[in-house]
Structure 1
Amino acid sequence: MAAHQDAVYRLACSMLGSTDQADDVTQDAFVALYQSPIAFESDDHRRNWLLKVAANQCRNIIRDRKRHPSLNLDEAHRAVDRANHRAFERAEHDRDQSMVLWEHVDRLPLDLREVVHLRYGEDLDTKSIAAICGISVGAAHVRLFRARTRLRESLEGGDR
């Protein structure tokens, strides 16, 4: 748990924008791991499995939010900003430059934000990202390309 808890939590914070829900998703992912009969081939296999479980749980929560909205949009945006700020503070990036970059990442649509977080926040390859997101490797490449293009345009456009 100690080896992968932060990665699962960061992904959940990034996707949900709620530290409370991220805590729940993290706990649920590890309960699922404990109950799983899967014989993992390696520690990376275990980590990727946990991230996939967490990402799926996050998608379910997001889907439920759309069906049953409970927060107004201003509160939701403030919660997302606070959660993303706290989650990315733990990252090992240079704080000044990475905060600007991650603020721009936070503005991306969920599908692009998810692949960027998995690639650059968790240092996963596109094959692992594709498996976690439930998409093809080609689609993962396309999403990363689109995300990088939007980030470049946003950063060059002075949209800070």
Structure 2
Amino acid sequence: MTTNDDQILITAIEKGDTKAYAQLVDRYKDLVYTLAIRMLKHKEEAEEVAQDTFIKVFKSLGKFKGDSKFSTWIYKVTYNTCLDRIKKNKKHFNDVAIDEYTFNKLDTIDNALDNIIKEEKSTLIKQCINKLPEDSSALLTLFYFEELSLDEISKIINLEANTVKVKLFRARKKLAVILEQYLQPQNSLNYGTR
């Protein structure tokens, strides 16, 4: 949807049109929930955060200036709401060790992934992303699944685009470590078929 469509809805909501608010929620509920589930890794908490996000969005619509796309702004509200929930619950997720990881292994993982059917690849990657810390899984979700630019992501998480790029690279390396565990049998099968 275009920013103009969003702005029309926002104006209607500010005038008290509840149907316009329902349309806005319907338009963005999937992306809000997807980011929340990736960060929180718990269905009920993600649902609660999604609801909290839309309450915050409703109360803060007047603060949306239109400097960025509305979707970027709602992602930012979702991201921050998730961070608040994580801090509140004091959840800590284990990081994946990447100390001895090489760039060649990243290429090997990418090549192995190319041999998996697209739907299986997507499912596998989503399962592996869920095993990452919340910040890494959020970045990968925003960049690869929601296809946001580095600039859009930097606005969402309040970091410079170059910093986002570095964090995204590190998140990819962590993901590659997890994917390697799943793809070991796949690699040996490929060598046997030549």
1:103 alignment counterpart: 127
- Counterpart of 1:13 (choices 25, 37, 60) is 37
**Does the alignment pair 1:32 with 2:61?**
no
Aligned to 1:124: 148
Q: Gapped runs of 5+ residues in structure 2?
A: 1-24, 94-116, 186-194
> TM (normalized to structure 2)?
0.61
Residue identity in the other structure for 1:7: L
Q: Report deviation, 1:6.
A: 0.3
Q: In structure 2, what is the equivalent of residue 61 of structure 1?
A: 85
The structure with the larger Rg is 2
Report the equivalent of 2:162.
138
Residues 115 and 144, structure 1, Cα contact 8 Å, conserved in 2: yes
Q: Does 1:41 align with 2:72?
A: no
Structure 1 position 127, deviation (Å)? 0.9
State the distance in 2 between where 1:145 and 1:64 align: 28
Q: How many residues align?
A: 136
**Quick check: 1:151 aligned with 2:175?**
yes
- Secondary structure of the residue aligned to 1:107 is coil
Distance 1:144 1:27, change over 3 A: same
Question: Any conservation in 1 of the 2:29–2:50 contact (CA below 8 Å)?
Answer: yes
How much does 1:46 deviate? Answer: 1.4
Structure 1 counterpart of 2:66, one-letter code: E
Residue 76 of structure 1 corresponds to which residue in structure 2? none
Relative to the length of structure 1, the TM-score reads 0.73
In structure 2, distance between residues paired with 1:24 and 1:54: 11
Query: Structure 2 CA distance, aligned partners of 1:151 and 1:66?
Result: 23
SS in 1 for 2:72: helix
Question: Structure 1: 5+ residue runs without aligned partners?
Answer: 74-92
Contact 2:40 2:134 in 1 (8 A): no
Identity of aligned residues (%): 29
Distance 1:66 1:152 in 2: 27
